[in-house]
Amino acid sequence: MNDDEELLNNEQEINRKRKNNQDCSSQVTTTKFSSAEEDDNDLLTLSLSFRSSRPRRLSPVVEQQPQLSPPRPPPPPPPPSPSLSMQALLNQNTPQLTIQMAAPNSIFGSPLVPDCSQSSPYIYRHQESAGPSSRPLRVRRNPTQAPREGKSETVPAPFPWATTHRATVHSYDYLVGKQIFTITGEVQCKRCERQYEMEYDLKEKFNEVAVFIFNNKCTMHDRAPSVWMNPVLPTCKSCKQENSAKPIISEKKKTINWLFLLLGQMLGCCTLEQLKYFCKHTKNHRTGAKDRVLYLTYLGLCKQLDPTGPFDR
């Protein structure tokens, strides 16, 4: 009996120890799990804090912002509206302005402009100038056109129809007022070589030149035509040779008989240097070929005779 009790006590003791061992092992396992969970929480907290402290990197699409255009300037302020008194004054002056602008068309009619399509020739009639022209002559300010040092712009008048200024003749009105109706000049025959004096009627010959310029100016294009470049010379009165009486042109440019050459339409017999001399002292453009300088010489001399005529460039 005692043995049975002792066995029973031993079994109970063994069971009690086993139970204690199981409780300890479960407690150790629970402790390990809780410590591992705490470690995981600490790592998660550390990683979150590290991520929040780093600056967030923007993507390239976000960083590339579109370039803004410069701001537009503000629109200009509207013009101030006129006052009532100004509006009334404008309303009063408007009818008068309309009448004044319509008047010239009814008085003067169409302007005198050469028409190349006209078949009938124009008859030039010189009109006496009532006074100085309202439009002053344009003077080119070119220092190279001034006379050289030691030379004066004025010279003794070489002919009654020439002025004391170089390459300048008197106007048609002045010559008629001085009873100068005939212009003379020296010529020499290329065949018999005889020299003699020729004369031209001022009114008749100037009318021929003026009519030719008026009827052909729009087709010249600022160039002298061939009839001026190679003029037909007069017939010699001694040997009757046609196209042979050539004008005698002075070697001194200041004594050239410009008006005689104009009326005979023989300015083309001058050299380019002589024509440039005329353009220089009459304030004309003198560079270019001979046909251009000759054209300016014809128009310049006609303008001297008749400042109000259709001889502008």
- What is the overall mean pLDDT for the chain? 75
Nearest partner of 153 among 8, 26, 277, judged by Cα: 277
In this structure, are residues 267 and 297 in contact, taking their beta carbons and an 8 Å threshold?
yes
Lowest mean pLDDT: which of 73-77, 144-148, 163-167, 298-302?
A: 144-148
Q: Which residue has the higher pLDDT, 174 or 122?
A: 174
Q: Is 189 helix (H, G, I), strand (E, B) or coil?
A: strand
pLDDT reported for residue 143: 44
Structure tokens at 235: 């017939």
In whole angstroms, give the CA distance from residue 188 to residue 266: 13
Residue 274 scores a pLDDT above 80: yes
Q: Which of 9-13, 23-27, 251-255, 267-271 has the lowest mean pLDDT?
A: 23-27
Residue 228 is predicted with a pLDDT of 97
Residue 121 predicted with pLDDT over 90: no
- Say what the pLDDT of residue 103 is: 39
Task: Provide the pLDDT confidence category of residue 40 given band limits of 50, 70 and 90.
Answer: low
The answer to whether 197 and 182 have CB atoms below 8 angstroms apart is no
Q: Report pTM.
A: 0.57
- Of 45-49, 224-228, 266-270, 285-289, the range with the lowest mean pLDDT is 45-49
- Specify the pLDDT at position 135: 58
Q: What is the pLDDT of residues 205-242, one digit of tens each?
A: 999 999 999 999 999 999 999 999 999 999 999 999 99
Q: Which of 254, 15, 261, 288 is nearest to 158 (CA)?
A: 254
User: In the chain, what are the domain boundaries?
Assistant: 152-305
Q: What is the mean pLDDT of residues 122-141?
A: 53
Rounded to whole angstroms, the Cα distance separating 289 from 304 reads 23
pLDDT-derived band at 32, boundaries 50, 70, 90: low
Q: Which amino acid is at 32?
A: K
- Identify the pLDDT of residue 153: 83
Which of 139-148, 216-225, 249-258 shows the lowest per-residue confidence on average (mean pLDDT)?
Answer: 139-148
What is the arithmetic mean of pLDDT over 138-167? 75
In this prediction, residue 95 has a pLDDT band, given cuts at 50, 70 and 90, of very low
SS3 call for 5: helix
Q: How many CB atoms lie within 10 A of CB 107?
A: 6
78 against 169, higher pLDDT: 169
Residue 135's alpha-carbon distances to 131, 263, 307, in angstroms, are 12, 27, 11
| Predicted confidence (pLDDT) per residue in 98-111, tens digit | 334 333 333 223 33
Is the predicted pLDDT of residue 179 greater than 90, yes or no? yes
**pLDDT tier at 285, thresholds 50, 70, 90:** confident
With a cut of 60, say whether residue 63 has pLDDT above it. no
First to last CA, the chain: 164
Share of the chain above pLDDT 70, in %: 57
CB neighbourhood size of 148 (10 A): 6
Q: What is the largest CA-CA distance in the chain?
A: 199
Higher pLDDT pick, 58 / 289: 289
In the predicted model, what is the mean pLDDT of residues 186-207?
Answer: 97
Cα atoms found within 13 Å of the Cα of residue 141, Cβ hemisphere only? 0
d(CA 14, CA 297): 152
